[in-house]
Structure 1
Amino acid sequence: MDLKEIQNLIKFVAKSGASEVKLEMDDVKITIKTGSDERETTILQQMPMQAAPQMQQPVQQQPQAPQQESQPTGGEEKAAGKEDEGYITIKSPIIGTFYRKPSPDKDAFVEVGDSVKVGDVLCVIEAMKLFNEIESEVSGKIVKVLVDDSSPVEFDQPLFLVDPS
């Protein structure tokens, strides 16, 4: 088994999501372990006539969002405590890039002063090449846009202030 075949095996195991794979052949014994917290795969290759060489090959993994202790949401939610003015904060349900317009040559979905009702599209957030429409879960008037167009947003980041009256 040559190095190219071992590298292909590492890639296959990393994509499969398996935590450990053992492969034994006539003159080669390979164990591939992937740790959930580690960002590398360790290979042990033992041959009868040679000392066991140890190689470490990094596994490319997508960074994961930090775990939030707040309760999960299915979309925008009311702020835990209403702000002094009584506005409702609409927050980002996902991590991605915030866009106020459906395309560069179109008008913004909403502007400050616009009235919105439940189900109206407020913006889109691009995540992993998918454009997710963010709909209002409250009725009212847009008081403030809290994020600049084409800027990155985090999960639960405030996007809009809405006056429900």
Structure 2
Amino acid sequence: MCIRCPMSCSLCVICNQTKPAKPVVWNCRGINLTYEGKSYCLITDATNFDNAESICQGNGTSLDTQGHISSVKSAFVNSYFLNVMKQNNIAEIWIGSGSILNSFYYNFDIWLDGTPLQDADPTYVPSYLSLKSDGMWYSHLRQEIVKYKDATTTLPYICQAPVKYIST
């Protein structure tokens, strides 16, 4: 039954066909977390940044549900992640950010999930950025890591996927 339409309303056929939405299943291979309408997955097994991003993308069953290393777009999310780190005795995690290629410029409005660029800027590249338990963010120079193939820094990470809904 549709809440907005009485049963006697002949114009409310669509109400009778609408079914409740269910969240799309996201394959978290770690600890499921939800905050501010987003699904997160804490992976405590340390790996390098590129492997972490590949694993996050692999959690999705389709392009619509692929994840990324989580973005920290507010002080609230930063605080939430710090609490998660404390609860799980984690000193540092990867977070996803972007920079302008070869500039070492991070504006923190460009995140690994593509927002707000969504591939609009060809100079956008993922950056290696981490959040430490002291609340500070640390840059790991991606260009140097790529140049010298030094991907030895391994950290736990939090994958992020938007909460999606499907009709059933």
Give TM-score scaled by structure 2 length: 0.28
The structure that is helix-richer by fraction is 2
Larger radius of gyration: 1
Greater RCO structure (CA 8 Å; 6+ sep)? 2
Q: If each structure's strand is expressed as a fraction of its own residues, which one has the higher value?
A: 1
